[in-house]
Amino acid sequence: MITLTDIQQAAAGIAGHVPVTACAHARTLSEITGAELWLKFENLQFTASFKDRGACWKLARLDAEARRRGVIAMSAGNHAQGVAYHARRLGIPATIVMPRNTPFVKVKHTERHGARVLLEGRTLEEAAAFAAEVAAREQLAFVHPYDDPDIIAGQGTVALEMLAAAPGLDCLLVPVGGGGLVSGMAVAARALQPDIEIVGVEAALYPAMKSALDGVGRASGGDTLAEGIAVSAPGRHTLALMREHVREILLVDEVQLERAVSLLLNVEKTVVEGAGAAGLAALLQYPDRFRGRRVGTVLSGGNMDPRLLAAILTRDMVREGRITRLRIIISDVPGQVARIAAVVARLEGNFLDLQHQRIFTPLPARDSYLDITLETRDGGHLEEVLRELRAAGYAVHVLEQ
């Protein structure tokens, strides 16, 4: 079992190689969520993830023969980059097995750190099985992403830094995949502050740890924004530690994960991937559970595909009423579009797209649809535009998003 001493030893061992990231009070997000929220910016590590910690400590403890032969790991991306980066820094050959659906940005960054990357399997479990075969064939040391005492101790150093920066936190909200981060943090935090509550957060599509702790079977699988914690089975070591130290696992849905990513970018001006935003997503989904409490959460990673991030931000603008699709029935005569545009311009709305549909409609031959994608400041501004268009005599329908 991992102890506070193990984690303190890991902290001393990675000092100078893994930065101490900021842990800051998030004033605006505290107002939004109703909790006094503190954020640990592990997305600002060199490889943009807390995984640097466990990888650095595990590799530092390998003997000379293991270093000479090299290491192998399986990962959806962040552990891969942490192992690849610290292996190159220590002169250790590294092979990384990644599932075939891993975002391209994570594959590219892992290769940039000098690792040999092998894409195999649809899930982490299939990638792990293949990595085990390669490890046995090539006599490589296997570096597990979460179910390893040295990895767990390394990840637990996050809690030491958080409680030094924000002593007296009531609760730690921690993203959960295989459980390496939350179990290490739980050991450290509970040793330093026995009354602190540790709450894990899983994507609702991948409730493996909650199912194991509750003894209840739940369906697992699907395309989640939080692919970094999309794990189908918890680790043996991590599960034992969580049974002892973790109070509860909360499940968050995809909409809240998207909202959390968007809020962190717009409010905190920091890029956080879906898994890293899970703690904030839990605060958004369960506000009554944490209202008025001093809560710390870990922004565990920031490796987000730029195209996916753009889609999330656009979808969030739709939810906020800042981008809306309208369908207006108009007579197909000259000047109609100009009159509608004049109303929108007077109210300072903005056309993003406009399509005039004359053929594929059930309308009389002299009528047509004008489909508009409209940008407004917020939901109130949108309602103002809708009122003015209707007052001008137009039949306006808001299309489903």
Residues known to be catalytic: 51, 300
Tokens of 85: 């980066």
CA torsion, points 353, 354, 355, 358, in degrees to nearest 10? 170
In angstroms, how far apart are the furthest CA atoms of the chain?
Answer: 83
348, burial (CB in 10 Å: exposed 0-12, middle 13-18, buried 19+): exposed
* Long-range residue pairs from 240-243, CB within 8 A, at least 24 positions apart, any chain: 240/1, 241/1, 241/2, 241/152, 241/179, 241/183, 241/184, 241/186, 241/187, 242/179, 242/182, 242/183, 242/186, 242/200, 242/209, 242/213, 243/213
Strands ordered across the beta sheet of 350-357: 350-357, 367-375, 323-331, 395-398
Kind and range of the H or E run holding 215: none
CB count within 10 Å of CB 365 equals 8
Of 110, 183, 200, give the one whose Cα is nearest residue 147: 183
Positive or negative: CA dihedral 278, 280, 283, 285: negative
Q: Which residues of 293-307 are buried (b: 16+ CB within 10 A; e: fewer)?
A: ebbbbbbbbbbbeee
Contact 289, 341 (CB under 8 A): no
What CA–CA distance (Å, rounded) separates 15 from 153? Answer: 14
Contact 116, 135 (CB under 8 A): no
Tokens of 218: 């739940």
